[in-house]
Structure formats: C-alpha cells, structure tokens
Amino acid sequence: MTDLETRGAPVVPAALRRAAPALVGYAAVRALGLLALALWSAARDKSAYTLLTARWDALWYARVAELGYGYEVRLPNGDVHSNLAFFPLLPWLERLLHSMTPLSYADAGFVVSLCASLAAAWGIFAVADHVYGRRAGVCAVLLWAVLPVGVVQSMAYSESLFTALAAWSLYAVLTGRWVTAGALASLAGLTRPVGLAVVAAVWVAGVSAFLRDRSGRRDRSVEPGEGARTAAHAPQPSLDAPYQRERAPEGAYVTTRALGLLLAPLGTAGYVLWVGHHTGKGPLGYLDVQAGWRNGFDGGQAFARFIIDKFTSIPSAFAGVGLTLGVALLVWLYLVCVRQRQPLPLLVYGGVVLALALCASSYFGSKPRLLLPAFPLLLPLALGLARLRTPRSALVVAGVAVASAVYGAWWLNGSGPP
C-alpha cells in the first residue's frame, strides 16, 4: 500500500499524529482568546464563563435541553420568539452529558462546544490536507481559529458542532465514504438550518458521480479503435483520487452511494416536518416559526438596505465601507475558490453557506458568526500562507491571533453575538 493510499484510509492514531500540529496550534490560539476574554471581563467586573455559556442562543439551547420544546416569548410588538427555531442536536447532547455527569446544562453546552471545536479543526485539516497537502491543512485550521469572531467557537453555541459535522461529511464525500457522508450530513441537518448546505454538497457530488459512472459505461459500450480502447478502459477519475482505495464491486458501491444520498436530508427534513406537525401548520410551519423571529430569506435585499443606510451619516459611513469591503472580500474569495477548481462538494457547500448567511433578512450583527462554518473560503488564503517560510507564516498567524483575541474579548463584553 502506498503512502497516498494510507492517507486515504488512515487509522486514527496515524491521522491524529498527522493532524497534531494543526490541533496544537488551534488549541493555543483558542487558549489565547479565552485568556484575553478572562482578563478583559475581569477588568469590567464580568464573568467570562457566563459570557460563554449563559447569554443569547446559549440560554435558548440550555432551556430546550432542560424543559424541551414549547417555550416562547411574546414581544410587545407582537412578534413571537419560539424555541422551536433552535434545532435539537446540541440540546440533546447537553441533556445527555448532564444526565451522565454533575454538569449543569450550561456547563454541558460549554464542554460539547470545546470538544466539537477540536473535532471541527481536525475535520478542516483533513479536508484541506486531502485536497492541498498537510501544510495547507495546518494553515487552514489556524486561519479558522484566528477569525475575528473565533471566540464563538468556544461558546455554548452550535457553530462548532455544525462545522465539525459538515467538515467530516465533506471529507467522507471526498474519500468516497458515502454512507458516512450521508449520516453526518443528516446530523448536521439536526444542528442548524444551514445543514441544507451539507445536504446540497452530498447530493450534487453524488449525482455528479452517478452521471460520471453512466457516461463511463456508455463510453465503454462503444466499440473503439486500438488507441481509443486504451483511453476508454482507463480508470475513471473519482472524487477520492488520488487517495483511491480498493473498493467493493461496482454494484455495491453504487448502492452505498445511493444510501448515503437517502440519509443526507433526513435530519433537516425530519425536524422541519416535526415542527410543522407540532405547530399544526403543515410542512412549512418552520418558516412561520422563523418569521416570528423576523428571520427569512429575501435574496439579500434587507442586508443591502442595512448597508446603504450606514452611508446616511459620516460616523456610520465608515461601518458601511467596512461592510461593503467585507462582502466584496467574501465574494472574491469564493470566486478564487472556483478559479482554483476546488472539488465540487466544497464549492457547493461554501456557496450555499455564503448565500444563506448574506441573504438572510434579519440579525445583521449575526452574519460574521453565521459565516464561521464556511471554511472552504479560507483555503485560498491557507495556500498563500503555506507558501511563506515557516518563521514568516508563524509571525503572521501570531499577530492576527493577538488581534483576534483582543477583538473577541471586546466584542463579547459588548453587544456580543446575537
């Protein structure tokens, strides 16, 4: 077995050793962020741990874990905030950990988030290493760690859990493990509404593979000449090249792929349909729940108006410029991903996450954290960082990590992530 084949089907200890630099670097960056948060919070006479575990969404998740669904808040303007808006996997894990340990629900959410963030870092490394090599994988993880809102990765929120499930599902697709990919996509769909991005990636990759197989069989059915015969019978490219492993017979492989595609949407569809039945509003009942939060998908019109309104006064115009440049940077990064011919599952996943985040019609301050799972957009930057000499890349990462830690501490001690 070659080294590449071993990397395609690694045993856990070998894979962990390969990912160790990325995971150690990630842990160091997050520890720096938590230290900065603790110092900043202490200076303001606040509890850093409370900020991480008992505000905004963390409170809603803990309440679902403790009391189940059915809680809602009616606002003076008539809006209804129902906890049905929050998908169930994180509360389920909080409840499970609470039942097995002395931890409170909030403590359990924090532990789940910490473990999930490490799993997410490992998954991001696995994907980037598979596509671009180990050095790019380490750089991708470090860039994800030093994002300005990276502190959310350590909060009792669902972003880390979702990113872990999404990254490993994408890795499973890239390496031809279709049932695993579908099962993880289903769990991602039980974590956040953006689980649709993982489902879309699995489905597009699967359908593409089916079409490629069909085209290959059609080409082989034609009686070719001597030169064409060689090309027709050459091994067909696949999503998991160059980490090809010995596979089951073609029929069995097609069956497992179909099973993976069937599994992928079950999480999202199951929860959405349950909400519709629970509310008595039919299959689209979940949209009514989101409407109670004034959240929806309008193609980005509300967000565009939000940015334009920033230019009505001089002080806020700087924020408008910053938001405009930020959106332009995200779009540019995605176009670079396309030009660099990232694997199709990564392009679909990154594009859907980007579209859902930018085109949501409410909670504009949440958009940076909603983009946390869009790690494929970091891969062009990771490639650039990987080309630098190690001392220079380490200096760049260290500088950005310090800035990110300070910003995260300031941000969470202020309005924080809604």
* pLDDT value of position 11: 66
Q: How far apart are CA 351 and CA 170, in angstroms?
A: 14
Q: How far apart are CA 285 and CA 276, in angstroms?
A: 4
Between vectors from CA 84 to CA 80 and to CA 89, what angle results, nearest 5°? 150
Q: What is the pLDDT of residues 302-357, one digit of tens each?
A: 888 888 888 887 777 888 888 889 999 999 999 999 999 999 999 999 999 999 99
**Low-confidence winner among 34-38, 181-185, 235-239, 295-299 (lowest mean pLDDT):** 235-239
Task: Locate all alpha helices (DSSP H) within 190-300, ordered by sequence.
Answer: 195-221, 226-232, 250-263, 266-279, 285-292
- Report yes or no: 186 and 361 within 8 Å, Cβ to Cβ: no
Q: Which of 198, 243, 218 minimizes the C-alpha distance to 351?
A: 198
pLDDT more than 90, % of the chain: 66
Q: How confident is the model at residue 222 (pLDDT cuts 50, 70, 90)?
A: very low
User: Counting Cβ atoms within 10 Å, is residue 126 exposed (0-12), middle (13-18) or buried (19+)?
Assistant: buried
- Report yes or no: 387 and 136 within 8 Å, Cβ to Cβ: no
What are residue 360's DSSP bridge partners? 297
Q: Is the pLDDT of residue 237 over 70?
A: no
Domain extent at residue 64:
3-296+390-413
Q: Which of 28, 115, 121 minimizes the C-alpha distance to 107?
A: 115
DSSP output for 188-216: HHTT-TTHHHHHHHHHHHHHHHHHHHHHH
318 in any annotated domain = no
Half-sphere exposure of 187 (CA within 13 A, CB side): 20
Q: Is the pLDDT of residue 410 over 60?
A: yes
Q: Which residue has the tokens 């990630």?
A: 26
Q: What is the pLDDT of residues 258-315, one digit of tens each?
A: 999 999 999 999 999 999 998 888 888 899 898 888 887 878 788 888 888 888 877 7
282 in any annotated domain = yes
The letter for the amino acid at 307 is I
Q: Which of 176, 177, 161, 178 minimizes the C-alpha distance to 121?
A: 161
- Report yes or no: 385 and 143 within 8 Å, Cβ to Cβ: yes
Q: What is the pLDDT of residues 152-185, one digit of tens each?
A: 999 999 999 999 999 999 999 999 999 999 999 9
Sign of torsion over alpha carbons 294, 299, 305, 306: positive
Instruction: Find the mean pLDDT for residues 198-207.
Output: 96
335 in any annotated domain = no
* pLDDT value of position 295: 84
* pLDDT value of position 8: 46
Q: What is the pLDDT of residues 42-92, one digit of tens each?
A: 999 999 999 999 988 999 999 999 999 989 888 888 888 999 999 999 999
DSSP output for 295-345: --B-TTHHHHHHHHHGGGSHHHHHHHHHHHHHHHHHHHHHHHHHHTT--HH
71 in any annotated domain = yes
370 in any annotated domain = no
Question: C-alpha distances in angstroms, 49 versus 42, 115, 155, 416?
Answer: 11, 16, 9, 14
Write down the mean pLDDT value for the chain: 87
Which three-class secondary structure state does DSSP give residue 361?
coil
In our burial notation (b when 16+ CB lie closer than 10 A, e otherwise), range 208-233 reads ebeeebeebeeeeeeeeeeeeeeebe
Q: Is the pLDDT of residue 251 over 80?
A: no
Q: How far apart are CA 271 and CA 222, in angstroms?
A: 47
- The number of distinct structural domains making up the chain is 1
Q: Which residues contact 335 (CB under 8 A, 6 or more apart)?
A: none
Q: Which residues contact 416 (CB under 8 A, 6 or more apart)?
A: 51, 55, 56
233 in any annotated domain = yes
117 in any annotated domain = yes
37 in any annotated domain = yes
Query: Which of residues 129 and 9 earns the better pLDDT score?
Result: 129
Which three-class secondary structure state does DSSP give residue 166?
helix
Q: Which residues contact 110 (CB under 8 A, 6 or more apart)?
A: 49, 52, 53, 154, 155, 156
Q: What is the pTM of this model?
A: 0.88
- Report yes or no: 418 and 366 within 8 Å, Cβ to Cβ: yes
Q: How far apart are CA 261 and CA 199, in angstroms?
A: 8
